[in-house]
Structure 1
Amino acid sequence: MEPPCLALLVFFGTLLVLPQASVGSTRHYTFNVAMQNVTRLGSTRAIPTVNGKFPGPKIVTRDGDRVVVKVINNVKDNVTIHWHGVRQLRTGWYDGPAYVTQCPIRTGRSFVYNFTVTGQRGTLFWHAHVSWMRATLYGPIVIFPKHGVPYPFPKPDKEVPIIFGEWFNADPEVIIAQALQTGAGPNVSDAFTINGLPGPLYNFSSKDTFKLKVQPGKLYMLRLINAALNDELFFSIANHTLTVVDVDAAYVKPFDTEVVLITPGQTTNVLLRANPHPGCPPATHLMLARPYSTANPGTFDNTTAAGVLEYAPPGHIKTHPLFRPTLPPINDTAFPANFSARLRSLASAEYPANVPREVDRAFFFTVGLGTNPCPANQTCQGPNGTKFAASINNVSFDMPATALLQARYYDRVAGVYTADLPFEPLEPFNYTGTPPNNTNVSNGTKVVVLRYNASVQVVMQDTSILGAESHPLHLHGFDFFVVGQGNGNYDPAKHPAGFNLLDPVQRNTVAVPAGGWVAIRFFADNPG
């Protein structure tokens, strides 16, 4: 077994010691990462898989359980696995991002991840965290409450993970390598998938369709996961109402909706009551997943994945009436705002919303695209012959050669990272108005240092540089509370008065609205 990069996690000089948690079960898994031939859209290619499955195997655990996963790398590329949304209390080196929390697992080597699920219940997921290997290396994490603790909603008769993904006919590693070399935007995917299957709306895919067979009157919980690389997705089932009860492994006040919006990295648990219309003949109800995007046409996959919901006795899709749901327009910015506004924490005595009321550290991050100059003797295909670069406060992240936690643990940070990520833009401008003439960004491996248990507020502002887009962002090691969001430029003198500090939704991934801003708060209570 390849040893971890460090044996003990110290957070900038402060060691976190937590009370002993109640002892749960230990769940053991083995993940064998190897190439597997998979046929989609009428063509076959070899893809990295776990245990020969696409999507990968399901992790099933309970709040309080310890999870031990031995990952064996039998592909030519380095591999890590990220347990997306698991807080990793005092186990940050098992979180998975290559060169941030650990050294990657080399070909022919193995690594054992060992962590405890604490205070979470619902749905999360795992995925590779090196380059674009997560295009095929992903799978569900199902977290049940502790034994004897019921759901705060009606118990479903059956629970079904539904994981959305993107399928590329070409090797995703080649696609992203080409994009990084040329500076152009990466080629988009060829299809979206539902549980690995594109569905009947694509050529050669009528047999590659996920089917959910239900019985009238039964209650189903669908554990929705967006494992797509780049696209937010609308999801709906024809003639059926969905009740949202949980997001990102945190309960919410239930509400009914015909359409769910789910950002890459987010999970949403919904209840589905199987109630066919009385007197109607047997029918096939399509479930559709299609992108939400404000980007320019051609820069995202504008296709639709489909599955079917069938009532017993089952029938063939061609012999039954076919009902199709209505989804919002692809660039409908009002729907995401209204949908996210309906998400509220339970904020009960049993499940309180421990949102910081006061703020020790406040950050204002501009989020968007910029450019890097084209290197000498190279032709670049980004805007005006430059290279695309994503940035926060005009800093584009450089991947270090040494894992950041390892550098900090051994107190050898010189040449690895600097603790000077700007707290706010160095040159303020009209972020959602006319973009500045100079779109160049700086590059560096910069971090923010926080005092243990500090209350933190981060406002993330979209920018109109190279086009306003929605930017999904995930915070490792923490859940946070979404206390506010809005259109246009954030106003620190006006907008905080409208923040929700009573029952804001608790998440680990949030989308910065296109042409707008979002504010989150959390306690820095997890060293690492």
Structure 2
Amino acid sequence: MRHVFVEVVVLISLVILELSYAFAPIVSYQWVVSYSQRFILGGNKQVIVINDMFPGPMLNATANDVIIVNIFNNLHEPFLMTWNGLQLRKNSWQDGVRGTNCPILPGTNWTYRFQVKDQIGSYFYFPSLLLQKAAGGYGAIRIYTPELVPVPFPKPDEEYDILIGDWFYADHTVMRASLDTGHSLPKPDGILFNGRGPEETFFAFEPGKTYRLRISNVGLKTCLNFRIQDHDMLLVETEGTYVQKRVYSSLDIHVGQSYSVLVTAKTDPVGIYRSYYIYATARFTDFYLGGRALIRYPNSPLDPVGPVPLAPASWDYSSSVEQALSIRMDLNVGAARSNPQGSYHYGRINVTRTIILHNDVMLSSGKLRYTINGVSFVYPDTPLKLVDHFQLNDTIIPDMFPVYPSNKTPSLGTSVVDIHYKDFVHIVFQNPLFELESYHIDGYNFFVVGYGFGAWSESKRAGYNLVDAVSRSTIQVYPYSWAAILIAMDNQGMWNVRSQKAEQWYLGQELYMRVKGEGQEDPSNIPVRDENPIPGNVIRCGKVL
């Protein structure tokens, strides 16, 4: 009888879910993922294309739309797509990472279906398995504000998506094999703008018009400083949050981060115009690495002239931290809803739990691995989401994640942190290494309340921004430093917390948060209103074949 009851609950949940989708607009895509030889940075490389495009097609929707993406995998490897920054409300079944989904096998297809509930902004998608991101397969995501919700700036005349990132000549399978044998990734070979090398990408400007540039760092490891020759940028949005409008001459964009800026095109009474460079150069490295694109005005010469905008000093952390602290939420406007963003007073909510995430390195059988709190993540054969759903308790042991500091020897393990639904959690990312870090939490935005040098302590709370901290999904952590966030755990499911740097992620610097309500260990107690039920098209693998 118990199994019959569970099936009835799941059936009712599916019916309610379909009814909620029925009243929302649907945006559908058919994507074919395949290989293609492309000439990039002066050499041929096998890249991953989507519908024969690199970067892939834009995913374009409006807040509250239902998005359907049917992906055909024509690669020779398993494949998954993840949606960097989309919150997938109570639907981690669609997250597209190895802990939530079985892979789409070669020669097969699978359909993602999710709603961008109460969310707007600039994001991107990318392959999450087998270091495939090093071969491409990424593309831009735009989620527009609903028609009845005012946007806090005049409508731009045009919008451009700019995907910047480091690039390697080596094939992703060669790079993966190098990591598997215990070697680090080499220095990148260049910087791409929208999948192209220096000066191969241009953006057309018309005099006096305003352009919205949606910029994402889709690279593997390198923080990039973005700037435009002789043009200022008005920052208006980052990862779904409208920010206080400030003018910047350059922006540090860390791996996995996205920004929207407004740029006003020049006017000349005589009508004489020239072209301008857009630069992206590496930050916090001991080598120079840069890429260029072009802005072209009507009848302007192809080659820009004049002074080149200077990059910040490579190791000048103070200016980068100062810039990060200057990016603050605009409390007086709405995003996906008409009420102000600042109507949610996060600084007045009692913290129910503090979690310190301390990244480091270890050797396993003489090979390099990365850790969080002394654990280097390894995946079981069955995705954790399926393990949890089918109660395979021999695979997940609740709250086995060690509290920092720990006296345990660093080891391989499967870290899952149990967190109660509706808890308000304080997370501190502690980075003891001479290397900048970048962290992402799937399914959530969080408030970035503080940065600091050295080791975090309780006394640091006194300096937190508890009023207008920016809300985003990816945060940088400077070398020998800490960063603190506050996060409302209001999105049930199994959610990935990872380094956005491909080497660190691939070699174990991640964990999963299992956000569950009371009594959810017993499926018969799950109310209909909680997380979406298992999809009817779920791919099975491992112990649930």
TM-score (norm 2): 0.82
Q: Which runs of 5+ in 2 are unaligned?
A: 1-6, 11-15, 333-338, 494-545
1:329 to 1:277, Cα distance in 2 relative to 1, 3 A: farther
User: CA–CA distance in 1 between the matches of 2:320 and 2:78?
Assistant: 37
1:413 has 2:393 as partner: yes
Q: Tell me, in whole angstroms, the C-alpha distance in 2 between the residues paired with 1:257 and 1:476.
A: 28
CA displacement at 1:367 relative to structure 2: 1.8
> Structure 1: which amino acid aligns with 2:105?
R
Count of residues in correspondence between the two structures: 473
1:351 is aligned to: 341
Q: What's the counterpart of residue 241 of structure 1?
A: 232
Cα distance, 1:417 vs. partner? 5.6
Match of 1:204 in 2: none
Aligned match for 1:286, one of 258, 263, 277: 277
Name the Cα RMSD after superposition. Answer: 2.4
1:288-307 alignment, distance < 5 Å: 288-293=279-284, 297=286, 302-307=288-293
Amino acid at match of 1:189: P
Is this contact kept in 2: 1:252–1:345, CA < 8 A?
yes
Q: For 1:232-289, what per-residue CA distance to the aligned partner results, in whole angstroms no more than 9, with x for missing partners?
A: 1100001111011000121111111100111111100000011257779532211110
Q: Which one-letter code corresponds to 2:179 in the other structure? A: A
The one of 463, 487, 499 equivalent to 2:464 is 499
How far did 1:134 drift? Answer: 1.5
Tell me by how many angstroms 1:48 deviates: 1.5
Matched with 1:112 is 111
Q: Give the deviation of 1:427 after TM superposition.
A: 4.3
Deviations 1:438-495 (A, max 9, x none): xx7311002110011111110111113xxx2111000011110001111111121x11
- The secondary structure found in structure 2 opposite 1:244 is strand
Matched residue of 1:345: which SS? coil
Unaligned runs of 5+ in 1: 1-6, 11-15, 201-208, 376-385, 429-439
Mean Cα deviation higher: 19-28 or 506-515? 19-28
Query: What CA distance in whole angstroms lies between the structure 1 residues aligned with 2:177 and 2:323?
Result: 36
Taking the TM superposition and a 5 Å limit, the aligned residue runs for 1:472-487 are 472-487=438-453
Name the residue aligned to 2:205. 214
Q: Which residue of 2 aligns with 1:205?
A: none
Superposed, which structure 2 residues align to 1:375-524 within 5 Å?
Answer: 375=365, 386-416=366-396, 419-427=399-407, 441-464=410-433, 468-492=434-458, 494-524=459-489
CA distance in 2, matches of 1:304, 1:244: 22
Contact kept? 2:362, 2:371, Cα under 8 Å: no
How far did residue 22 of structure 1 move?
10
- 1:323 Cα deviation (Å)? 4.2
Could you say what secondary structure the match of 1:222 adopts?
strand
Which digits, 9 at most, give the CA deviation of each residue in 1:179-217, with x for residues without a partner? 222x121223211101111214xxxxxxxx111120111
Task: Kindly indicate whether the alpha-carbon contact (under 8 Å) linking 1:400 and 1:416 is maintained by their aligned counterparts in 2.
Answer: no
Counterpart for residue 131 of structure 2:
132
Amino acid at match of 2:430: Q
Mapped partners of 1:9, 1:354: distance in 2: 35
Deviation at 1:403, TM superposition (A): 0.4
Candidates 309, 315, 321, aligned match of 2:301: 315
Deviation at 1:398, TM superposition (A): 1.0
Partner of 1:149: 149
Return the letter of the residue paired with 2:96. G
CA gap of 1:473–1:50, structure 2 versus 1, over 3 A, is: same
CA contact (8 A) 2:380 2:395 kept: no
Q: Which residue type is aligned with residue 198 of structure 1? A: G
| Identical counterparts, % of pairs | 28
Structure 1 position 312, deviation (Å): 1.3
Tell me the TM-score normalized by structure 1: 0.85
Offset at 1:423? Answer: 2.7
Counterparts of 1:249-288 in structure 2, within 5 Å, are 249-275=240-266, 282-288=273-279
Given residue 397 of structure 1, which amino acid in structure 2 is its aligned partner? F
1:338 match: secondary structure: helix
Q: Give the 3-state SS of the residue equivalent to 1:448 in structure 2.
A: strand
Residues 387-429 of structure 1 show CA distances to partners (whole Å, capped at 9, x for unaligned) of 222111111111221100100000003135653112322149x
The amino acid across from 1:316 in the alignment is: L
Structure with higher helix content: 2
